[in-house]
Amino acid sequence: MHSRAGIVLAGGFARRFGDRDKTLAEFRGRPLIVHAVEPLRAVVERVVVSCRREQRPAFEPVLSDVEYRPDPTPDAGPLAGLDAALEGLEAETVAVTSADRPLVPAGLYRSLLDSLSKEGVVIRADGIDQPVPAVFETRALRRAVTEQRSNGTRRLRAVLDALDCTTLDGETITRQWGEDVLADVNTQADLDRLEE
């Protein structure tokens, strides 16, 4: 059993980004998805990318040593993608992120992993517990995802309601790792701002 695994959620359609796949948008010379995978790879034994089936051929040339778990139902929401990624995953703990957070360093994942004492560790930013980047006990996360999906929930944040998580202060995180460490890219303007 792998004791630590990582999941990158990459299957969203990102309609606000325009007519191209934002996970492949260039950021500092490499696709966003690469910026999400590489820091995880430094701290876990196994990385799983949850994506749409049609994304995989575009990901394979830029990503190596990852497993792909296609969303069984495209556009079913991030919770469905997480559920697919968890299927068959043998790991005690799992770090979860999204492909649109290019500035999360390996050191932050290490801090999250080291802080795990309950069912999960999340960051509270702007008064809201963030489901990514975060670390969870795999068994507890799987239970919470199953529970929320059976209720018809699609939102990733809903799993946090079903878990006993340690909360880290977002201001402390940004002081240590940089103001934009938790920034996500939703639009081309977001990406351009981070490039500055």
Closest CA to 52 of 17, 26, 32, 78: 78
The token duo for 100 is 């649109």
The reply, when asked if residue 65 is annotated as ligand binding, is yes
The reply, when asked if residue 71 is annotated as ligand binding, is no
Burial (Cβ within 10 Å: 0-12, 13-18, ≥19) of residue 68: middle
The reply, when asked if residue 100 is annotated as ligand binding, is yes
The reply, when asked if residue 10 is annotated as ligand binding, is yes
CA distance 63 to 67: 10
The reply, when asked if residue 81 is annotated as ligand binding, is no
Closest CA to 184 of 123, 121, 111, 110: 123
Q: Residue ranges for the binding site for GTP?
A: 9-11, 22, 65, 100
- Binding-site residue numbers for Mg(2+) are 100
Q: Which residue positions form the known binding site?
A: 9-11, 22, 65, 100
